[in-house]
Amino acid sequence: MRHGKKVNHLGRKAAHRKAMLANMAVSLIEHKRITTTVAKAKALRVYIEPLVTKAKNDTMHSRRTVFSYLKNKEAIKELFGPIAEAVATRPGGYTRILKIGNRKGDNAEMAFIEFVDFNEFAPGKSGSSSSSSRRRRRRKSRSSDAKEVETPVVEDEVEVVEETVEAVKEAEVVEEVVEEVAEAAEEVVEEATEEVAEETATEEETDEEKKEGDA
C-alpha cells in the first residue's frame, strides 16, 4: 500500500528523480511539447508549474531561484521571455496532458505534455497567438473584400435594370409617336382624297354646264 506517499518516486532515488525532472523541464521549455509516460508527465507538471509562476516576476532573485532547479541558461532565457509573456494573464494551469495510448513493448500508458498557450493544433491556443490573429484578420479581410466585390455587382445589376426600364419606356414613347404620326398621315390622306373628289365633281359640273350652253 502507498498510504501517505504523496510523491511518486518513479522507481528512482531522489537525486536521479530530480535530475530527470530537470532535464524533462528543460526539454519542455525548449520544444513546448514532449512525449513521455503519464506518470512522468504528472510528476513534471507538479515540478514545472511553480517555476513558470516564478518566471512571471522577472527579477534577479526569481532567475536565480529557477536556475537552481533547471541549471540551463538558454532554458532560463526562454522561460523568462516568450513563455512568461504568453502566460502573463493565465492564473495557473500552464500545461496540459493528452493521453495517446499505450507504448508497444511494455504497454506503458503514454501522453503528451505541452504548454497550453503554445499548442499549434488547437485553434486560438497556438504559441504564435499573432499567427492565429493574422489568420482571423485574413479571413475577415477576405470576407470584407467579398462583400465589397458583391456590392458593385448589385449596383451594376440595378443600373442594368434601370437602363432596361428606361429603354422600355423610350420604346413605348416611340410607339405612341409612330401611332400618332400614322393617324395624322391617314387623316391628311383622307382630307386630300376628299378635296380631289370635290374638285373633280365641280369640274364635271362645269363641263356639263358648258355643254348645255353650247347646245
Question: Number of structural domains, the chain?
Answer: 1
Mean of pLDDT values over 95-104: 95
CATH number for the domain harbouring residue 26? 3.90.1030.10
- Cα–Cα dist 59/142, whole Å: 44
128: alpha, beta or left, given left = phi > 0 and alpha = psi -120 to 50?
beta
In a domain, 74, yes or no: yes
pLDDT in tens, 139-173: 666 655 555 555 555 556 656 666 766 666 666 66
In a domain, 112, yes or no: yes
The pLDDT-based confidence of 135 (bands split at 50, 70, 90) is low
**Residue 54: which domain range?**
14-127
pLDDT in tens, 47-62: 999 999 999 999 999 9
In a domain, 105, yes or no: yes
In a domain, 81, yes or no: yes
In a domain, 38, yes or no: yes
Q: How far is CA 40 from CA 99, 104, 112, in A?
A: 12, 17, 10
What 8-state DSSP symbol labels residue 165? H
- Cα–Cα dist 208/110, whole Å: 136
The pLDDT-based confidence of 127 (bands split at 50, 70, 90) is very low
Mean of pLDDT values over 95-117: 94
